Amino acid sequence: MSLKKYVQDSEGVWRDANDVAEYPSFSDGDTINYRVVVTNTGQGVLNGVVVRDDKQPELGSFEIDTPLEPGEANAYVHEYEVTLGEGVPDTLINTACVSAPQPADSEDPVQVNCDPAGIELIGVPTHDKELVSAAPIGDGRWELVYGIDVTNTSTRSTS
pLDDT digits (tens, 9 = 90+) for 109-128: 788 899 999 999 887 778 89
21 and 34 in a single domain? The answer is yes
Number of domains in the chain: 2
54 and 128 in a single domain? The answer is no
- Count of beta carbons in the 10 Å neighbourhood of residue 7: 22
- Does 23 score more than 90 pLDDT? yes
Give the pLDDT band (50/70/90) at residue 108: confident
94 and 149 in a single domain? The answer is no
111 and 131 in a single domain? The answer is no
102 and 137 in a single domain? The answer is no
Return d(Cα 39, Cα 20) in angstroms, integer.
25
112 and 129 in a single domain? The answer is no
90 and 136 in a single domain? The answer is no
Q: Percent of the chain having pLDDT more than 70? A: 99
pLDDT digits (tens, 9 = 90+) for 25-56: 998 889 999 999 999 988 788 999 999 999 88
Query: If you average pLDDT over residues 72-94, what whole number do you get?
Result: 90
Instruction: Supply the CATH number for residue 71's domain.
Output: 2.60.40.10
Query: If you average pLDDT over residues 67-92, what whole number do you get?
Result: 90
Whether the model clears a pTM of 0.85, i.e. scores above it, the answer is no
User: Does residue 107 sit in helix, strand or coil?
Assistant: coil
pLDDT digits (tens, 9 = 90+) for 90-100: 899 999 999 99
Q: Which domain holds residue 109?
A: 2-121
Query: If you average pLDDT over residues 77-87, what whole number do you get?
Result: 89
103 and 154 in a single domain? The answer is no
94 and 22 in a single domain? The answer is yes
Q: How distant, in Å, are the alpha carbons of 61, 100, 130 from that of 56?
A: 7, 20, 45
Return d(Cα 17, Cα 43) in angstroms, integer.
29
- Does 134 score more than 90 pLDDT? yes
- The predicted pLDDT at position 151 comes to 79
115 and 135 in a single domain? The answer is no
Q: Which residues of 107-127 are buried (b: 16+ CB within 10 A; e: fewer)?
A: eeebeebebebbbbbbbeeee
Taking alpha carbons only, the member of 28, 10, 24, 26 closest to residue 154 is: 28
Return d(Cα 37, Cα 2) in angstroms, integer.
8
11 and 64 in a single domain? The answer is yes
* Maximum alpha-carbon separation in the chain: 90
117 and 148 in a single domain? The answer is no
- Does 144 score more than 90 pLDDT? yes
